[in-house]
Amino acid sequence: MPFFLTQPAMAWLLPAIALPILFHLFFRLRRSVQEFPSLMFFLRIDPRLSAKRKVHEWLILILRCLFIALFILALARPLLGTKGSGGSVARLVLIDNSGSMAALTPGGVSKLTLAERATQKLIDSGKKGDVTAVELMIPDPTATIPHGFDASPAALRDSVEKLPPSDGAAPVAKSVRLALSSLNTAITAERELHIVTDLQRKNWSRGDLGGEVLAPNVRIIVHYIETAPVTTGSVSIEPVETAAHAIPAGRIIPVRVTLQNHGPATAHVRLNTTDDSGKNVSHTAEVGPNASIMLTVTFSFANPGFHWAQAWVEGDVAPTANRACLGFWCTDVEKVLFLGTKSDFAALPYAVAPGGNSDLSGINAAFIGQDQLAAGLSAKPLAAALTWENWPADGAAAQALQDYVRHGGTLILSPSPETATTVSRPAADWIGARLEALQSPKDPEPITLLQDGDAIWHDLRNAEGRPSLGLLRAFQYRPIKLGADWKILATSAQGAPLLAQRNYEQGRVLASGLAFSPKWSSLPLKAGFVVLIQNALFGGQSGTVPVRMMKAAEDYSFDFTGEQATIKSLAGSALQWQGSARDFAGFPRTGVYEIKQQDYLNWVATTGNADEAVPDYFPLGPVPLLHDLPHDTLPLVHENDLADTELGQNSGLPLYRWLLLVGLVVLLAETWLANERSSDLGKRLFHALLPSFFSKKPAGAKTGSFKT
């Protein structure tokens, strides 16, 4: 029968067994010698004195060592055997509350409901001395499940009643790790981790449990809930990309969403949208089996500030991932200053304000002279555009331009399309760049785009993630002579820099060697040209937007981790929470949430996780993620299926009580032996129990001889 220690660290105390021996030797060395008139009476009465006493001393010494050994062993909480011994059990039930658990079982109830019932059954199965705890794979601030093993079964049972499903993907490996760690805090003979899950393949394929070692008295039982097969269309929705920057109020915001059908039949669904102004729009869509389509929905908000919108799929059987919440940060109508006339900038003003006004982009283009530059920049426009040839001669205007960029402004420099001369006023030294002579290649030179990850290529990347604007050709250009700190975005076939940007203190400078005219290159004629210019205008603002888009159940980091936070939901899943930011569990469901910390407001919009709608599950059997940890996978069709063998009836026999009892007996025996001289009964017993040879007189021993 196996024997193991549940607190093996206590074994380090075992050398303490030697303490009585050390004390014995120490005091033996320190024994005093007394003078006595004569030893004749001692020699007369008992020449066997030493042998008997030695036996007595060694007996006491052995008992003391034995007591310490038993006490240390008891502290180490040893267990004998693992089956059928009836020791107390610590049971932790880990409920998979990921989005996929909202789907139905073949029995017609949701998997999460069955998980709740099974959990309640496990709680009720606890015997005297057993303790139970419940944890969710996705922490849920709306759930009132008590933490730890101290909760009463009744309170625990009530807390798992009607758990709301989440919309996120479960961090399975992380939650199993935490559960095992939590289980190790329980002081019981046997520990069980019950995982109630549907083994959704996407969830159970993430993460790694490598390095996790199971203690001998820990048992993992995976309760596998089967999912009803999907026979119809099952559509999930997921936004492709949303603007990470501020958007001018009034601008139409296109949002692309992907509708993916995970079912074997064509799905006819309706995509509904609504926003905080009450504007509702509906689209019908047809998604083929195991196919996906992309739709674009638009929103527009008249006022600056935070705005939210929702999109959801109607007429779908998918249990989750059929709702997305979006958040936007709108600014007032912006203005871009153009120093010069419209013809100096060719197509650039049209890319800034398509249609000639702010209706489409939320940006107005204003053309001013050099004498108006300083005043115009003082109003902090979104950007200022200059031609290399028209660098302000006025010192005050040039200084105002430098101050504007230094404090966060965006400056766009491009050559004038009609200027044929190569002689121009040099830009200020702080720009760190200048144009070189006009190049007019005989054959148009292809333009190469660089810096794949730069924000300026947002919405312009192909499937491979590379920026793509179609076939770009340069007919003439002026290479840019760049200093340090510049980042080249586009070059000619000869490698001459054509487009580059640099940060200057808090602002940015975008330098172009191409005039934005079709005579110079094919760029202005490309569909992505407007997007490119809009990205150039807003690319540097993403960090200042107080809106975060994320998937449900993803980790959220607060701006002030240790501070108090107040969270309330504006749309979607209801949530009202207040407390230390450290204690916040996360956003398990889709919704729009306002977060207040100190005097700052932030907003979070969460979407569902399309992976949760994928009806792909591991079959009943060993779980790959737990391959290094011994576990049993048992089917769970009905809560009554939980047999005794799954309810912790098998456990090791805890020996510590017995060890303490034996230790107590040893201690009593030691006390009796150490004091037996004071008790006649004890003395008689002691002498009676001694082996007879200790009582026999040794041959040749002195028998009462007197001194001579």
Token pair 């210019």 is found at 533
Can residue 21 be called a binding residue for other proteins (CB under 8 A)?
no
Chain mean position to CA 357 = 44
CB-nearer residue toward other proteins: 39 or 665: 39
**What angle do the packed helices 19-29 and 49-75 form, to 10 degrees?**
150
Torsion angle of C-alpha atoms 501, 502, 503, 505, degrees rounded to 10: -140
Distance (Å, whole) CA 437 – CA 701: 125
Determine if 23 is a binding residue for other proteins (CB under 8 A). no
d(CA 176, CA 625): 10
The least CB distance from residue 691 to other proteins, in Å, is 17
Asked if 50 interacts with other proteins (CB under 8 A), we say: yes
Long-range contacts of the stretch 462-465 (C-beta < 8 A, 24+)? none
Spell 37-58 as b/e; 16+ CB within 10 A means b: eeeeeebeeebeeebeeeebee
* Nearer of residues 38 and 421 to other proteins, judged by Cβ: 38
296 versus 675: smaller Cβ distance to other proteins: 675
If the CB atoms of residues 53 and 519 are measured against other proteins, the closer one turns out to be: 53
Cβ 52 to other proteins, closest distance in Å?
Answer: 8
- Binding of residue 53 to other proteins (CB under 8 A): yes
Give the pair of three-digit tokens for residue 61: 């010494």
Site string for other proteins, 559-578 (x = CB under 8 A): --------------------
* Of 31 and 442, CB closest to other proteins: 31
Q: Least distance from C-beta 51 to other proteins, angstroms?
A: 11
CB 162 within 8 A of CB 177: no
Q: How far is the CB of 27 from other proteins (least distance, A)?
A: 9
Q: Where does residue 244 rank: exposed (0-12), middle (13-18), buried (19+ CB within 10 A)?
A: middle
Tell me the per-residue interface mask from 490 to 519 with other proteins, x by CB under 8 A, - otherwise. ------------------------------
Q: Buried b vs exposed e over 432-449: b needs ≥16 C-beta within 10 Å?
A: bbbbeebbeeeeebebeb
Element at 509 (helix H, strand E): strand 507-512
Q: In the bound complex, what is the minimum distance in angstroms from residue 46's beta carbon to other proteins?
A: 6
Q: Position 457: which residue type? A: W
Q: Which string of x and - marks every residue 29-48 that binds other proteins (by CB under 8 A)?
A: --xxxxxxxxxxxxxxxx--
Site string for other proteins, 648-687 (x = CB under 8 A): -----------------------------xx---------
- Smallest gap from residue 684 Cβ to other proteins (A): 13
| Least Cβ distance, residue 669 to other proteins (angstroms) | 18
Q: Look at residue 210 and give its three-state secondary structure.
A: coil
Check residue 706 for interaction with other proteins (CB under 8 A).
yes
Query: In sequence order, what DSSP letters do the residues of 596-631 get, joined into one string?
Result: EETTEEEEEEEE--GGGG---BPPSS--GGGTTS-E
| Residue 508, token pair as written in the block | 């940015």
Per the DSSP assignment, residues forming a β-bridge with 393 are none
Give the pair of three-digit tokens for residue 258. 């992907």
Which one of residues 14, 21, 49, 701 is an interface residue with other proteins (CB under 8 A)? 49
Output the smallest distance, CB 66 to other proteins, in A.
22
CB of residue 62 to other proteins, shortest distance in Å: 18
State yes or no: residue 187 binds other proteins (CB under 8 A): no
- Work out how close the CB of 677 gets to other proteins at its nearest, in angstroms, rounded to a whole number: 4
Query: With contacts defined by CB under 8 A, how many residues of the chain interact with other proteins?
Result: 25
Using CB under 8 A as the binding rule, whether residue 150 contacts other proteins is answered as no
Q: How far, in Å, CA of 302 to CA of 290, rounded?
A: 39
Q: Lay out the sheet containing 190-197: strands in order across.
A: 131-136, 89-95, 190-197, 218-224, 631-635
Taking the least distance from each CB to other proteins, the nearer of 49 and 574 is 49
Nearer to other proteins, 462 or 708 (CB): 708
Contacts of 15 (CB under 8 A, 6+ apart): none
Q: Which is nearer to other proteins, 27 or 463 (CB)?
A: 27
User: Which residues contact other proteins (rule: CB under 8 A)?
Assistant: 31-46, 49-50, 52-53, 56, 677-678, 706-707
